[in-house]
Amino acid sequence: MAYLFTSESVSEGHPDKVADQISDALLDNFLAFDPDSKVACETLVTTGQVVLAGEVKSDTYLDVQHIAREVINNIGYTKGAYQFSGDSCGVISLIHEQSQDINQGVDRANKEEQGAGDQGMMFGYATKETENYMPLALDISHKILIELAALRREEKDITYLRPDAKSQVTIEYSDDNIPQRIDAIVVSTQHDQFDEDEVMLSKIKEDIINILIPRVKAQMPEYVQQLFNDDITYHINPTGKFVIGGPHGDSGLTGRKIIVDTYGGKGAHGGGAFSGKDPSKVDRSAAYAARHIAKNLVAAGVADEILVQVSYAIGVVEPTSIYVDTYGSKNVALTDGEIAKKAAEIFDMRPAAIEKRLKLRNPIYLETAAYGHMGKEPKTVTKVFESPYSGKITKEVELFTWEKLDFVDNVKKAFNL
């Protein structure tokens, strides 16, 4: 029997994502000036206020208030009417030094013997249903909001948009797990008060369906474009007007959008958030490494869909387990346990090895903090960081290294593909 599956996304202006981006901007600045920094930074945003908290061990000192304000302004919270703007909000820093009890289990004289920064399990997932090996409903949800933000910044075709927004896509699948059509699309976008409520809501719905959706559709490959149809049920700002939004409408916290950040409800999640954490925290680095494994295994043809789980004990070098589930889609004459064993031989999952392989000690994290940590195009960029205490530094870094298909040949050789 056919079934429906739904995933959601949230915009860069969503309160939780504002918090994530501030936390990751702080992390990037610490790593830019001191690559060995240990950072666990949490952010709270609410009406007119930002609170920074957490633990840091670093040789550099930052103007954290300035960094937070810069992030908020870049997102688009620049007007007093939003009751939250980068130039006027209060920024309180409660950041203190990392516990030595934790640090002693992580830092080692030999960096290769670095212990895991925490216990726990992390998951990576990949599927052949999209070109970037991501679940389709989540991929479309992200693209809707990326394009909505582009329209907001253009201030041409739609001029009333504000930064806060959410999207949701429901897809109908056949019994053999093939996407058949898009069943429903939900978009809730913050907006100016530009007319009477009924006229305003009608205009917003018309613009989303006739301007935004065609732009999103045009970016998709042909097989995805065919899933868009005249029978899609649209819910556009279904609760009514959405003028009050962002941190004024709802407080935001780092790490509250972990399903949006990963696979939209497909696969599994170990529970650990990413943003604000340096790569010694395996919550983040091992989740990236597990995605790297899953994507390369699927791309190599081992299976059409793969879930990878890895687990650690705090302060211990080797993972406590590596698990693989191919959902019955494997293309090799091996059990899932045998596939997991081979994967462990191909990919070194010690924390220091992950950091080195994926180049995670670089300031690469702000770009991950909105529209998903997985599924984006790996690329090299030049980033500039300035500090009143340490001067100006320019760094060329690789973004989204865990999305590279650089182990496909190794996997094919190991599995005789």
Binding residues: 14, 16, 42, 55, 98, 164-166, 241-242, 250, 256-257, 273, 277, 281
- Report the number of secondary-structure helices (H) and strands (E) in the chain: 13, 13
Q: Residue type for 184, please?
A: A
Say which residues have a Cβ less than 8 Å from residue 29's Cβ, sequence separation at least 6.
60, 62, 67, 363, 385, 387
Annotated binding site for ATP: 14, 164-166, 241-242, 250, 256-257, 273, 277
- The residue with tokens 């820093």 is 93
- Mutual angle of helices 336-346 and 282-300, in 10-degree steps: 110
Separation in Å, CA 389 to CA 87, 121, 357: 21, 38, 31
Annotated binding site for L-methionine: 55, 98, 250, 281
What per-residue string of b and e applies to 236-271 under the rule 16 or more CB within 10 Å gives b?
A: bbeeeebbebbbbbebbbbbbbbebbbbbbbbbbbe
Instruction: Return left, alpha or beta for 112; rule: phi > 0 is left, psi -120 to 50 is alpha, else beta.
Output: alpha
Separation in Å, CA 21 to CA 17, 212, 254: 6, 25, 8
Query: Whose CA is closest to 40, among 282, 346, 306?
Result: 282
Annotated binding site for K(+): 42
Length of the chain: 417
Per the CB < 8 A criterion, the answer to whether 210 and 46 are in contact is no
CB atoms within 10 A of CB 355: 20
d(CA 42, CA 23): 6
Annotated binding site for Mg(2+): 16
CA quadruple 337, 341, 346, 349: dihedral, nearest 10 = 100
d(CA 259, CA 241): 26
d(CA 218, CA 223): 12
